[in-house]
A and B are shown apart, each in its own frame.
Chain A
Amino acid sequence: MAVVHSGSSGGLELPENVMVGQLDALANWCRKNSLWPMPFATACCGIELMATGAAKHDLARFGAEVFRFSPRQCDLMIVAGRVVMKMLPVLQRIWQQMHEPKWCISMGACASTGGVFDTYAVVQGIDRFIPVDMYVPGCPPRPEQLIQAIIDLQDKIQREGTITGREFDTAGRQLRKRALVEMAGPLTSDASRNPMLQRELAAAADAVAAKT
């Protein structure tokens, strides 16, 4: 176990079978080696995700083979494939249902940027609407690439953990979650629900006004 520093620091006399380490590092080490992915497979990339878990590429070598389809049991969401307007609310809801600590891999060009589908229905990158930790390029990425992304994510988890210990602040999280109320209504071209878009539009309007 590389992460636990053994030794007799500080003049403290330790028995032979006791090691001293940082609790954080230990927790991160545990977390990174038992990622439970939640396959949010929507399109073609999902087939490669399947291939990653199937006969030849065996994801189990990295401790991430336990695909669970319930968001409550998972801590890594792999969004494989394009996400469209009708699907995005589902994606957001599933993301919110996952427990902390959680990470997200955006697999494939579509999930990351919209890919070849620059059309009215496709969300141009899921990172506009949910946080993403790791992007896997490719259309579709080869299974090897996905495995590499998981390895990189493991490094990231080891390095950073969850930083603020957000997962222990249950009450605060619930409060903020509730702030995002259900927002139904006509899906029109106004930017009523997207503050970022509102800002962009306002800036554009300002620029036009400044010119004239």
Chain B
Amino acid sequence: MPSMPLAVDDILAGLAARCGAVETSVFRGQTRVVVPEPRSFEALAWLKEQGFDLLIDVTCVDYLEYPGAKHRYGLVYLLVSTATNCRLTVRVFVDDPDPTVKSVVPLWAAANWLEREVWDLFGIRFSGHPDLRRLVMPQEFTAHPLRKDYPLQGRGERHNFPIITRDHS
């Protein structure tokens, strides 16, 4: 952690210097920055060095039906610095086929299960993740249910169990 915490603008400038052009935007006081996928790990590692030591959330949005979206999946990293209480949202966009991002488990232990959940529900692979198994769905499940092309009611998996009657029990 640096001795003097940087202001958000400095951080964004530093990020741009390190990772090429980054898009930034502010909405309702929340600063968001889009980092290109190949440099995402580097950028996040640098941000951690700058004092963003608490990873609040890793999640994903499937932009399949979103009007005006350029990419299919947008990962969201929510970072907080416990020293300055400054928040930053980092976005990384990936696309079909085989969306892959580098895992941030080496930086934050918290990312372990969060990334597993994203893999489970969106099918985004995290390269370098120590244990990338499904988290919430059964291991033998085949789809990624939070994708927009998966129906709310599922494809009948929930009915596919043997029936036990009074006779069987």
Chain A directly contacts chain B within the complex, with at least one CB pair under 8 Å: yes
Tell me the A residues contacting B by CB distance below 8 Å.
85-86, 88-89, 92, 95-96, 98, 100, 102, 118-124, 128-131, 166, 173, 176-177, 179-180, 183-197
Residues of A close to B136: CB separation below 8 A: 86
B142 at the interface (CB under 8 A from A): yes
B141: nearest chain-A partner, CB-CB? A187
Q: Which 8 pairs show the lowest CB-CB distances between chains A and B?
A: A120-B154, A189-B155, A189-B156, A187-B140, A131-B166, A197-B159, A86-B138, A187-B141
Q: Is the CB of B169 within 8 A of A120?
A: no
- Which among A120, A129, A189, A190 is the interface contact of B164 at CB below 8 angstroms? A129
What secondary structure prevails in chain B residues at the interface with A?
loop
Residues of B close to A92: CB separation below 8 A: 161-162, 164
Q: Is the CB of A85 within 8 A of B138?
A: yes
Q: Is the CB of A131 within 8 A of B151?
A: no
Please report the number of residue pairs spanning A and B whose Cβ atoms sit closer than 8 angstroms. Answer: 105
Known contacts A120-B152, A187-B142; is-contact A85 B158 (Cβ 8 Å): yes
Residues of A close to B160: CB separation below 8 A: 187-194, 197
Residues of B close to A166: CB separation below 8 A: 166
Residues of A close to B159: CB separation below 8 A: 124, 128, 191, 194, 197
Q: Is the CB of B154 within 8 A of A119?
A: yes
Tell me the B residues contacting A by CB distance below 8 Å.
136-138, 140-142, 145, 150-169
Residues of B close to A186: CB separation below 8 A: 140, 142
Please give the distance in Å from B154's CB to the nearest CB on chain A: 3
Bound-state CA distance A23–B153 (Å) is 50
B165: nearest chain-A partner, CB-CB? A131
Q: Is the CB of A131 within 8 A of B157?
A: no
Please give the distance in Å from B27's CB to the nearest CB on chain A: 30
Known contacts A86-B138, A122-B158, A124-B158; is-contact A129 B167 (Cβ 8 Å): no
Bound-state CA distance A208–B41 (Å) is 53
Residues of B close to A122: CB separation below 8 A: 158
Q: Is the CB of B157 within 8 A of A189?
A: yes
Known: A89-B161, A124-B159, A176-B167. 7 other contacts (CB 8 A): A92-B162, A96-B169, A188-B157, A189-B156, A193-B160, A194-B159, A194-B162
Q: Is the CB of B168 within 8 A of A176?
A: yes
- Which among A121, A124, A129 is the interface contact of B145 at CB below 8 angstroms? A121
Bound-state CA distance A184–B137 (Å) is 15
